[in-house]
């Protein structure tokens, strides 16, 4: 497995691009971030890592494999993935990775955890 220096200028630049990307996804779909910052940070770092290693922002919660010289993830989960858009967020209020949520999910989460 290829290693990345997560303190390198290159990674930090990709991390900033990924943060802008996730902001745009939230704005485009009317979603909000998970109320736990460590969830958002972990997923954002994983997305940036996958972008650098594999060329796409594959969901970090799923394995990325190489087939015939090309990379792909389980269920081809490129963020924001089709299962999240079509099933997970509408039915559960959040995507599998947890970064993208409906405002209603976050409101309920905050009621239960505060």
Structure token pair of residue 5: 């220096």
Residue-level pLDDT at 79: 96
Q: How confident is the model over 12-33, as a mean pLDDT?
A: 98
Give the largest CA-CA distance in the chain. 49
Domain extents in the chain: 30-113
Residue pLDDT, tens place only, 58-100: 999 998 888 887 887 777 799 999 999 999 999 999 999 999 9
Dihedral angle sign, alpha carbons of residues 53, 10, 34, 38: positive
Residue-level pLDDT at 48: 97
Q: Is the pLDDT of residue 12 over 80?
A: yes
In CATH, what class is 30-113? alpha beta
Q: Is the pLDDT of residue 113 over 70?
A: yes
């Amino acid at each position: 497995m290829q290693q990345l220096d997560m303190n390198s200028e290159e990674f930090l630049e990709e991390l900033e691009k990924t943060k802008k990307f996730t902001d745009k996804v939230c704005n485009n779909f009317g979603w909000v971030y998970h109320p736990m910052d460590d969830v958002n940070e972990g997923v954002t770092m994983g997305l940036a890592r996958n972008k650098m290693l594999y060329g796409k922002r594959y969901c970090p919660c799923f394995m990325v494999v190489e087939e015939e010289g090309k990379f792909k993830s389980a269920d081809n989960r490129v963020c924001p993935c089709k299962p999240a858009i079509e099933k997970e967020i509408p039915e559960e209020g959040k995507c599998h990775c947890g970064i993208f949520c409906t405002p209603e999910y976050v409101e309920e989460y905050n009621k239960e955890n505060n």
